[in-house]
Amino acid sequence: MDNRTIRELGGDRWFTITNYIILSLFLLSVLYPLLYVLSASFSSSHAIVSGKVWIYPVDFTLDGYKAVFNHRLIWSGFRNSLFYMAVGTAINVALTVLAAYPLSRKDLYGRNAVMFLFVFTTMFSGGLIPFYLLVRNMGMLDTVWAMLLPGALGVWNMVITRTYFQTSLPDELLEAAQLDGCSDFSFVARVAIPLSMPVLAVITLFYAVGHWNQYFNAFIFLKSENLYPLQIVLREILIQNNVNVGMLATVVDVQSAAEREGLSNLLKYSLIVVATLPLMIIYPFVQKHFVKGVMIGSLKG
C-alpha cells in the first residue's frame, strides 16, 4: 500500500514538472513576439535591420514614437476610433440588455420564437453584397452611421447576457419586486443591471475591442479621409507600406534614402505598439470578470 502511494506521488511529480514545462512553452511562444515588437520599437532602425535586436532594445531611441505622433492621419484616426468605440459600444450594450432581459424572462410569451429570430442570424446570412446594398440604400455610405449601426447587436453577447440574467437573478427577487409595485422597466434599471456588472463589463470589453479593431466596414463604407478610423490608417502604413516619410523629415533629421527607409521601418514597430496599447491597458482590469461573466453566461442554464 505504502509502496503504491509513493510510486504514484513520483508519477505526479513528473506530471507537475512536465506541466510547468508545457506552460512555460506556451508562455514563451506567446510572449516572445510581443516582447520583440516592443523592444524593436525602442531600437534604432539600423539595429533592427542588421539583426542586433533579439530581446531588449539596442541603441535606445524614441525616433519611431516621435514619427508616430507627428503623423497627421494617425492622430485623426485615433480620435475617430475613440469616437466610434465610445458611441458604438454604448449603442451595442444598450441594445444587448434590451434584448437579453425580456428573453431571460420565462413568462415572456413568444420567447422561443424571438430567440430563434436572433440565433438564426448566426447560422445563415444574406451575404456581403446585400448587406452592402442595404447600407448604401439607407444612405449611410461615407457617414459615421455606417460605423455605428450595422451589426450593432452581437447575438452571442446577447445570449451570454441573457443566460447571466437567468442564472443570477432568482425568480423570488422578481416576485418580491413585483409585490412592491416595481415595473419591468424599473426592475431592469434598478435590479437587473446593477446585479449583472461582471457580464456587462465583459460584453462592453468585447464590443469595444470589436470597434477599435474594426477595419473592413470602414474599408468598404467610408471614402472620406477625415472619417477614417485608426485601422484604415494602419492599413495604409503597415500593409500598403504607404509611409509619407518626407512629411516626417522635419521632425527627425533624415537625409539619405536608406535612413528614410529605416525610419519608416521603425515607425511601423512604434505604430503597432501605440495602436495596441489602449486595449492591453484596459483588459487586465476586466479579465477578472471573464470567469464570472463568460463562464456563468456560456455554460450554465
Partner 1 sequence: MKTELVAHHRPKAARRGTPWSRIRKGWQLYVMLALPVLFIVIFSYVPMYGAQIAFKDFVINKSIWGSEWVGLKHFNRFIHSYDFWRLLRNTISISMYSLLAGFPFPILLALSLNYVGKTWFKKSVQMITYAPYFISVVVMVGILFELLDPRKGIVNHAITALGFEPIQFLAKAEWFQSIYVWSGVWQLVGFSCIIYLAALASIDPALHEAAVIDGANKMRRIWHVDLPGIMPVAVILLIINMGHMLDVGYEKILLMQNSLNLSTSEVIDTYVYKVALNSPGMNYSYSTMIGLFKSVINLTLLIAVNGIARRLKQSSLW
Q: What does the alpha-carbon distance between residue 185 and residue 191 come to, in Å, rounded to a whole number?
A: 10
Position among 6, 17, 128, 247 found at the interface with partner 1 (CB under 8 A): 128
> Least distance (Å) from partner 1 to the CB of residue 253?
22
- State how far Cα 188 lies from the chain centre: 27
Q: Is position 144 an interface residue for partner 1 (rule: CB under 8 A)?
A: no
> Least distance (Å) from partner 1 to the CB of residue 277?
10
Alpha carbon separation from 236 to 68, 74, 220 (Å, rounded): 14, 11, 14
Position among 17, 56, 79, 130 found at the interface with partner 1 (CB under 8 A): 130
Torsional sign, CA 208, 209, 210, 215: positive
Position among 82, 144, 173, 188 found at the interface with partner 1 (CB under 8 A): 188
Q: Is position 142 an interface residue for partner 1 (rule: CB under 8 A)?
A: no
Q: What does the alpha-carbon distance between residue 85 and residue 47 come to, in Å, rounded to a whole number?
A: 36
Position among 17, 197, 280, 285 found at the interface with partner 1 (CB under 8 A): 280
| Choices 36-44, 64-72, 193-201, 247-255; region in contact with partner 1 by CB under 8 A | 36-44
Position among 226, 242, 244, 298 found at the interface with partner 1 (CB under 8 A): 298
User: Which helix (H) or strand (E) is 216 found in, with range?
Assistant: helix 216-221
Nearer to partner 1, 5 or 250 (CB): 5
Q: Is position 265 an interface residue for partner 1 (rule: CB under 8 A)?
A: yes
Position among 90, 249, 276, 289 found at the interface with partner 1 (CB under 8 A): 276
Q: Find out whether 17 and 234 touch, Cβ atoms under 8 Å.
A: no
Alpha carbon separation from 260 to 64, 119, 253, 255 (Å, rounded): 12, 52, 9, 7
Using CB under 8 A as the binding rule, the residues of this chain from 67 to 96 that contact partner 1 are 95-96
Position among 112, 226, 242, 244 found at the interface with partner 1 (CB under 8 A): 112
> Least distance (Å) from partner 1 to the CB of residue 62?
19
What percent helix, strand, coil does the chain show, rounded to 5?
75, 0, 25
Q: Is position 181 an interface residue for partner 1 (rule: CB under 8 A)?
A: no
Position among 147, 212, 228, 270 found at the interface with partner 1 (CB under 8 A): 212
The footprint of partner 1 on this chain (CB under 8 A) covers a number of residues equal to: 104
**Sequence-separated (6 or more) residues with CB below 8 Å from residue 176:** none
| Choices 61-69, 243-251, 252-260, 276-284; region in contact with partner 1 by CB under 8 A | 276-284
Residue 282 — φ and ψ, nearest 5°?
Answer: -75, -40
Nearer to partner 1, 35 or 249 (CB): 35
Torsional sign, CA 90, 92, 93, 94: positive
Q: Is position 176 an interface residue for partner 1 (rule: CB under 8 A)?
A: no
Q: How many CB atoms lie within 10 A of CB 264?
A: 20
| Choices 56-64, 65-73, 128-136, 246-254; region in contact with partner 1 by CB under 8 A | 128-136
Q: Find out whether 87 and 148 touch, Cβ atoms under 8 Å.
A: yes
Nearer to partner 1, 55 or 250 (CB): 55
Map grid coordinates 509513493 to a residue.
6
